[in-house]
Amino acid sequence: MGMSASEFLLWELRRRREAEGLSQDEWGSRVYFSAQHVSAVERGTRPAKTDYLGAVDKEFGTSLTVFYESFVKNELAPAWLRPWLEYEEKAVALRLYGALVIPGLFQTERYARMVLSCGPLQPQEVERRVELRLSRQSILDRKDPPRISAVVDELALRRGEPEIMPEQLHHLVTLAERPNITIRVVPADAPAHLGWGGPLALASFIDAEDVGYLDNHLEGQTVTNPNQVATLDAVWDSVGAVALPARQSLCLIEEVAKSWT
C-alpha cells in the first residue's frame, strides 16, 4: 500500500524535524507553536493547517504549504466537490446565498463542526470536512482575494448553540469590514422569494462563463449549463431584492449577536 498525501505530509514533517536534530519542543519554539501542537500534528490527531505549514516553510525553507494545497486538500474533498473547488479557487468574484446555514467560507471552526456534526457523517469524517472547509477559506487571505457578495437569512443568524453563535456572528462582522466582502441579510419578515429552494453559490471569471454550485443532503452539484446558470442568476436577483442593504444588515447581525449573549 502506498501512502496517502496526508500520511506523506506527516511523515515528511517528522523526517524533517529529525534531520534537523530537533526535539518537538525545540522545533515548536522555532515555528512558534507549542510542543503539544507539534506532537498532535505528528500523531495525526490534529490537522496540519496552512498556518502551521507556512511557519515551517518560512523557518526551514520547505514547500509544504504548496504540497498541502495541491495534494492533501484535494484528497480531503469528496470527488463530487472537487470540480467546484477548482472554480472557487480561480473565481474573481463569488456570490453566496446561505438559507438556513451561514456560507462555508465564512464559518468559524466551531460553527463548522456544529453544522457538520448534525448530519450522518462519522466523527472522523466530520473532522476531515471541517479541515477542508477551513482550508478553503485561505482564498480570503491571499494577495488578490475574490470579491464576495453574500446573502444570509436572518434565521441562520438565530439558529445554533449559544456558546458558538456570538463568536460566529462577530466573525461575520469582521469579514464584512473587508473592502472585498459584502454581507447582506434577508430579514425574517421578508416576502416569499426564490431562495426558498435552498442555498447556492455562483462563481465569476475574467474570461469564462459563470459557474454555479448547489448543495444538497447527499452531494453537491456543480452547474455549468448556461441555461441552468441563468436560472441561478434569477434566484440570486430574487434573493437580493428582499435583502437589507449592507449597513442595515451589519446592524442586524450585531443586534442578533447581542441577543445571544
pLDDT of residue 1: 60
pLDDT-derived band at 249, boundaries 50, 70, 90:
very high
Query: Which bin fits 49, alpha (ψ -120 to 50), beta or left (φ > 0)?
Result: beta
Listed in order, the ranges of the chain carrying CATH 1.10.260.40 are 5-74
pLDDT of residue 93: 97
pLDDT tens-place string over residues 116-157: 888 777 877 888 888 888 889 989 988 899 999 999 999 999
Q: Are the C-beta atoms of 256 and 158 separated by less than 8 Å?
A: yes
pLDDT-derived band at 12, boundaries 50, 70, 90:
very high
Fold that domain 79-260 belongs to in CATH:
Endonuclease; Chain A (3.30.870)
What is the rounded CA–CA span in Å between residue 107 and residue 196? 21
State the CATH architecture for 5-74: Orthogonal Bundle (1.10)
Average pLDDT, whole number, for the chain?
Answer: 91
pLDDT of residue 239: 93
Give me the helices (H) in the chain, please. 5-19, 24-31, 35-43, 50-60, 64-67, 73-76, 82-90, 109-117, 123-136, 154-158, 165-176, 226-242, 246-260
Mean pLDDT of all residues in 229-235: 95
Listed in order, the ranges of the chain carrying CATH 3.30.870 are 79-260
Q: Are the C-beta atoms of 24 and 17 separated by less than 8 Å?
A: yes
